Structure 1
Amino acid sequence: MSSPAIRTTHVGSLPRSDRLRSLLTADEVDDEEFDSAVDESIREVVRRQSAAGIDVANDGEQSRIAYSVDVTNRLSGFGEGTVEREWPADLDDFPEYGEELLGASENIGGPVARGPIEYVGEEALERDLARFDEAVAAEGVEFPARFHTAPSPGAVLRFTETEYHDSDEAYLFDLADALATEYELIAETGAVLQIDAPDLLAGFTLTYKDDSVDDFRERVRTHVEALNEAVSAVPSEQIRLHGCWGNYEGPHHHDVALDAVIDAFYEADVGGLVVEGANPRHQHEYRTFEEHPLPDGWRLIPGVVDVKTNVVEHPEVVADRIERFANAVGDPERIVAGADCGFETVVEGANAVHPSIAWKKLEALREGADLAAERLF
């Protein structure tokens, strides 16, 4: 890119085609038809990211039914079972709204570990990774950089169950050992590895609702320790860590504060941090980086467009948000502008933004980043 500029990216999931959504949720699917639909949908999101002015792009997670459990298809030891599902703590205070938003809180079907966990999905992952380059070539577009997402060990633990391990900690570190292969394969392509780790923030209201803040901080340290083991063979500058408070339209009034756990985040062996900064509950969190400076060499990827509302941010609003984070960090060159979370994290669920509006938000992101660059450089 010509300098000076603020680069733009997003968090990973982008709207899927209607055809692909129907195939992802079908009971039986022809493999050739599915591959064709995935390839077609990735070409579409590649084309639209280029048109919107996204600099650090990806495949939009088009082949996945959900970011958190797709990886279990590439791990041995898992079978279908019952996964505990509770509402987030904030929705417990508003049960009528909770049921309207997420449905009943009873347990649901999902992956359950019943034996040794090993990585067995090299071929499937390599095919998925190749799709992005194929789509870029087919569309005749270019991006300064690309990224590919993978869940943290703690994220997989959150959305699955185990009947094989004696404790959550044993399960966590077993997952870390297996996921290391996925992380390394992604990094070998030259892509930025984005680790999606809702367990480090949303875990406070989703999984560990009885924790005190101090207890949760120590739990985050354990999860980061497991993550560090998993990424030990990947250069830290090639990794960005994504933490969020949950991508649903709840009140979020029980969310843990970022500054309460940021010291544990900073123990991660990564080179960038993706955080929310646009939704109404957390727009003040930029101050955390004034009081707790980023580690040397890290970049900050703040969310400056909200993925829980169909209101399209004015570019001036986006620019203001970028400026606040840049001033808090002290160097605009360490900022990459992004979104709060994914636009379609699951195929069926509480995706708040209409698919057509998601692209308009990314256009506003680009316009706002250009305005911010004019002011900051």
Structure 2
Amino acid sequence: MRAKLKPLDQQVVVVTGASSGIGLAAARAFAKAGAAVVLVARNEEALREACAEIEAAGGRAHVVTADVGSPEDMARVTRAAVARFGGFDTWVNDAGVGIYGDSLEVSLEDHQRLFQTNYFGVVHGSLEAARHLKERPGGGVIINIGSILGDMPSPLMGPYVASKHAVKGFTDTLRIDLQRQGAPVQVSLIKPASIGTPFPDHAKNYMETAARVPPPVYAPEVVADAILHAATHPVRALTVGGAGRQLVATYHAAPRFADRLFGAAIPRLSIRKEPKPADDSLHSPSQDGEARTDAYGSRPFSLYTQAHKQPGVVVGLALLGLAAAFAWRNREAIRDGAGPLMRQGVERLPWTRRTGTPGGLQTTLH
């Protein structure tokens, strides 16, 4: 049974990780589109600031201070959404933390904590959402925020990469299990490339200098737009950022070459020549409240993502490409036959008639 996807102005949406970055951008976008939003994160102060901003603009929002690593906290989010808005239609699992450092340097404690948030946070949120949406008339949508790093490796981010591979595997399997049960629940996976959020400054950093995401960098609002699209359209998976899709394609087409390329280039592109922040958000909340970073710019659009949100455009472009390829491969035959073909075409036009003049054709308008 398919979920009956409601217009955004009729939805209640839960967004975890809503105190900064993609989560904050998505919460703002949902509220602007008319949805009621339940904001979830560990930083209560940042959540209340976001809530006040949304309500000042005429939106509806509710704050739940919670840790996605705790299943009890996620159950409390559901109870709060039911009490405040009567339930929810879409649940976005965005909360995540990062670690920058060589895999041999990262402590097991840090590695485990990252998985508690990035993987088990998605598991706790997804299971809680699935139980609610299975019983909700019309069902709803679970949107998990993965990464292109769920499809490829990246040096200096071993635990993070592993967690995103795990998120992809869990999301794809959850989708199948819900389909087998006939549950009216859509499960979507959004896979951002490099996004210009404060994520690198919030990450635990084993390096000597500040971290960054490799260019090209896309704005968090581009991801937010993809999330809103998944809340109202049948989306299985959607990559945000054409550059990221190219990296994934390179890795799968030539993994040995990609290993060397990534190993040589990505570490140099992942550092800023600035002192690293004194704290991080791995084990406790850090400075939140911003969707974007001011350390570097970001692209406000992705043609690749926009095209894949509109399958008709993709099919049209593919057909156009095939036509162009066919024309190029047969250019000599087309050129040689262009004269006769043009002549035959003109003879068939409704405003021409054959005459006895030397040229054989006379053009008349009628």
TM-score category, normalised to shorter length? 0.3 to 0.5
Which entry has the higher C-alpha Rg, 1 or 2? 2
Q: TM-score when scaled to structure 2?
A: 0.34
Higher relative contact order (CA 8 A, sep 6+): 1
Q: Given the two structures, how large is their TM-score scaled by the length of structure 1?
A: 0.34
